[in-house]
Amino acid sequence: NFQTIASELELLKAQGLLRADVDSVFEAKTILALIDGFGLNLVLDPEGFGADLSSQKFESWVSVLIKRLTLGT
């Protein structure tokens, strides 16, 4: 659930690994929404949005998220 992810994000903030102004609850809900969307697309369009593409896109998104939460870009 999003509370677990938000708690982990708060720990990262406390360790100085995330910006202090990061909204952990919002970011946790965003992460879950993305995961839900990938899962839904895998079910609705497994040929057009397969596991390989999902994995590549998720990794790309996580990379952008990390940069945004740590560098503010």
**What pLDDT, on a 0 to 100 scale, did the predictor assign at position 7?**
96
Average pLDDT, the chain: 87
Instruction: Give the model's confidence band at 73: pLDDT under 50 very low, under 70 low, under 90 confident, else very high.
Output: low
Task: Provide the residue type at 37 as one letter.
Answer: G
Both tokens of 10, joined, read 């708060």
- Res. 33: pLDDT tops 60: yes
What secondary structure letter does DSSP report for 17? Answer: S
